[in-house]
Structure 1
Amino acid sequence: MLDNIQALLATTLFSLYERPFTVGEVLLVPLLLIMGWWGADKLAHLATFRLRKSGASADSVHLFKRIFYIIALAVLAITTLDVLNVPLTAFAFLSGAIAIGFGFGAQNIINNFISGWILMWERPIRIGDFLEVDGARGSVEAINTRSTRIRRIDGVHMLIPNSKLLENTVINWTLIDYLTRTSVRVGVAYGSDCTLVADLIRQAADEQEHILKDSKPVVIFEDFGDSALIFEVYFWVNATVERDLRLIRSELRFAIDRIFNAHKVVIAYPQRDVHIDGDLVLRREARS
């Protein structure tokens, strides 16, 4: 039985460049690849676990994992060929033809692939950053080989090609820090005490815990509007995502409304004066 198995494994299946390949060698290839990739995957997980425990950023861990897998795949391929005694020169012509065809047929894929490596290496965009791309806002969840996955503020995931993030204008709200300046506008009725209104808005802003105290809120008398005196308060906050800004602005509006009501300041509403040229006659119809 054992002799039959050995004879079967020693049977030649095909030859490549005068090099015969037996059944045993063909069966050995997937075994080597599976075991090698399993070992590389375990080492990658162990290394990334150590990096996370040491305090490395998510981008550094992601970049290390990508480089490790590429090196592991190259070593595994060379080792497999060496075990089979296949010279690398045997694939020179074949690999050249494949490279030429691949280059012509997959320009966009190669462009996005290289762009992904540039994003991970230069880190203009990092995992966790809050971006604004083509009017859509969201947080970066992953930078993959071909595309970057972004979760919008409404929970929808977007897959954006990596080349688009390099070739187009992208607003990164958290590239350096989480400091963001925003504002709230409010209109009060004509006849209001403008100095009092500005003081009340400033007081409401100072009372908000999320508004930074290092940079004092600035209240601007913006304009004489059609129906109101327009005021706008500018302030700085530490905001990670857009919904934080919306909540902070909402809390400030609640505070302004509350303090205006306490001091009898009227928030204006649209008004229109209608002027009629000529005589206006009102007729009252008698009812039977």
Structure 2
Amino acid sequence: MKKKLILWFGGVGLLILFSAFAIFSLSKNSWAQIATPIVVAEKSVVPPQSDEGVIKLREDAVAKTSETISQIWNYQLAIIDERAITTGKVISAILLLSIGIWLSKAISNFVGRRIFPKLNLSGGGLAAIQSILFYLLVVFFALFALRLANVPLTVFTVIGGALAIGVGFGSQNIMNNFISGLIILVEQHVRVGDLVEVDDLQGMVKHIGPRSTIIRTINHTDIVVPNSQFLDKHVVNWTLSDNITRFKVDVGISYSSSIELAKKLLIQAAEENLHVISNPAPDVLFQEFGSSTINLQLFGFVFINSTIGPNVVQSELRYRIWELFQANGIEVAVPQRDVRLEMVGPVEVKTS
């Protein structure tokens, strides 16, 4: 939708631009040639009193309209480096910049789809390079539009001062998030497709924009996070170097159960899970003698992605551990308490 709007506005702007140039390029004789058939057509309805008078009136109206448009188009907004900044130059620059932004998006998308995949780049790296390419193309087309519109680059001294005042009064957060987004794209510590955790928010990075990043949670909800959050806060990236992470599952069994059998069943549950890797192999630690349980810990390494996280694998393992323990008579212990009653005297038992 956004692309269509930009293309539509660009086309309308070009149409207006060409129409204005056409008005300036046509001579009075051309307008007289256009006006003459109109007069001839009117003769069949109402006989004109004077053909020359009608043509003269039309030429005067066209001349006034052309003069008014020319005055508006050539109106001087400012003079920089002995160059006049006119309304026509500003309109031309804006139209060219709009078309340049659309072309930048189209070119970056084409390169990202057709060329970058042949370089065996990861999804996150591809998205980062594609975004940087888009920004570079926008800067190129902006400079090209200013050059083509004959706008001097020293105009940025005035614009830069105005932007500095704006940043000082109310745009700190916008500029902070924009610069943070550029740092994220360059450093590649957070990439599209990574499984990250920011504060209590965990999910997959769906998009990294100039101001914010979109994270899709396990509930399939898109959360918009400002880019500065990734630099100001502690961020856990589960898939920064690879998609392998460590998991652990704590289990407490009763003192009457066999520790060796419990260890064997725990390892069996891990080996049967498709997400648990075999090298290094999963193992079981004897943690401690609890007050009412023998505490064991199953640990290993699991391959995760955008849909399978450590919590999902741990849940699958607990389901399987419970089934194996039930089938082999291993009791999952619960806290037990011994209650002793101290009596001062004998207890009387009455029967009816």
Out of 176, 187, 193, the residue aligned to residue 128 of structure 1 is 193
- Tell whether 2:280 aligns with 1:215: yes
Q: Structure 2-normalised TM-score?
A: 0.70
Larger radius of gyration: 2
Matches within 5 A, 1:132-281: 132-241=197-306, 243-279=308-344, 281=347
- SS, match of residue 148 in structure 1: strand
Give the match for residue 48 of structure 1: 112
- Aligned partners of 1:222, 1:236: CA distance in 2, in Å? 19
Quick one: structure 1 residues 95 and 179, their matched pair in 2 at CA, closer, same or farther if it must change by over 3 Å? same
| Runs of 5+ consecutive residues of structure 1 not aligned to the other structure | none
Aligned partner of 1:114: which letter? Answer: I
The 10-residue stretch of structure 1 (246-255 or 212-221) with the greater mean CA deviation from structure 2: 246-255
Under a length normalisation based on structure 1, what TM-score does the superposition of the two structures give? Answer: 0.83
* Conserved 8 A contact 1:153-1:243: no
Task: Rate the CA distance shift 1:255–1:283 in 2: closer, same or farther, 3 A.
Answer: same
- 2:249 is paired with a residue whose SS is strand
Choose between structure 1 and 2: higher helix proportion. Answer: 2
Cα shift readout 1:133-165 (whole Å, capped 9, x = no counterpart): 112211111111122211122222222222221
Moved more, 64-73 or 113-122: 64-73
Q: 1:133/1:198 Cα in 2 relative to 1: closer, same or farther (>3 Å)?
A: same
Distance 1:217 1:136, change over 3 A: same
AA at the equivalent of 1:208? N
* Residue 23 of structure 1, CA deviation: 7.1
Cα distance per residue 1:91-121 (max 9 Å; x no partner): 2552242132033122222222111111100
Shift of 1:180: 1.3
**Gap regions ≥5 residues in structure 2:** 1-22, 28-61
- Percent identity, aligned pairs only? 33
Q: 1:216 to 1:62 in 2, by over 3 A?
A: closer
Asked whether the 8 Å contact 2:254–2:331 carries over to 1, the reply is yes
CA RMSD of aligned residues (A): 2.9
Q: For residues 262 and 86 of structure 1, what CA distance do their matches in structure 2 show? A: 82
| 1:216-275: CA deviation from partner (whole Å, max 9, x where unpaired) | 222122222232222111111111257543343233333323332333222222322212
* SS class of match (1:11): helix
Contact 2:89 2:151 in 1 (8 A): no
Code of the residue aligned with 2:159 in structure 1: it is S
- Partners of 2:86 and 2:302 in 1: CA distance: 69
Stretch deviating more after TM superposition (223-232 or 64-73): 64-73
Distance in 1, matches of 2:164 and 2:86, equals: 31
1:108-119 matches, within 5 Å, as 108-119=173-184
Note if 1:14 corresponds to 2:75.
Answer: yes
Q: What is the aligned length?
A: 285
